[in-house]
Amino acid sequence: MPDPRIRPLEIGPTEDESALRIRWGDEHVSIYRPRYLRLHCPCAGCVEEMTGRRLLNPDTVPADVYPLAIHYVGRYALLFQWSDGHATGIYSYELLRSICPCGECGSAG
């Protein structure tokens, strides 16, 4: 059995469609602003693989960046096609859960 904390039950936009909402197997709900997700892109162009150092300069990411499309990658991850042309980051559910910006999880990452 996969850990319910990293098993999404529901993935979709929030009611006002301004953010992505994930409801997890343990009933925790995460709300992600698009730019927040874009800044946490885990691809080799945005994060140095060996050190985990962030290479992406936040100033280069438009304030109104949004996903043109969201693709499922197997059963473990999502891939966002961003409006700024970036589409190489594979966001595992484990990563998404670990960067949950809610007050409860907030400071963890």
Task: With CA atoms as reference, report the closest residue to 65 among 90, 39, 91, 46.
Answer: 39
CB 33 within 8 A of CB 18: yes
Closer of 2 and 44 to Zn ion (Cβ): 44
Q: How far is the CB of 83 from Zn ion (least distance, A)?
A: 14
> Residue 10 forms beta bridges with which residues?
23
For residue 10, give the 3-state DSSP assignment: strand
Residue numbers 56-85 binding Zn ion by CB under 5 A: none
Helix (H, G, I), strand (E, B) or coil at 98: helix
Q: Which two tokens stand for residue 44?
A: 């080799």
Size of the residue set binding Zn ion (CB under 5 A): 9
Q: Residue 41 interacts with Zn ion (CB under 5 A)?
A: yes
Q: Which is nearer to Zn ion, 41 or 61 (CB)?
A: 41
Q: Which of 68, 102, 108, 109 forms a contact with Zn ion (CB under 5 A)?
A: 102
Give the one residue of 89, 91, 95, 99 binding Zn ion; rule: CB under 5 A: 89
Which of the 8 DSSP states describes residue 18? S
- In the complex, the residues that contact Zn ion under the rule CB under 5 A are 41, 43, 45-46, 89, 100, 102, 104-105
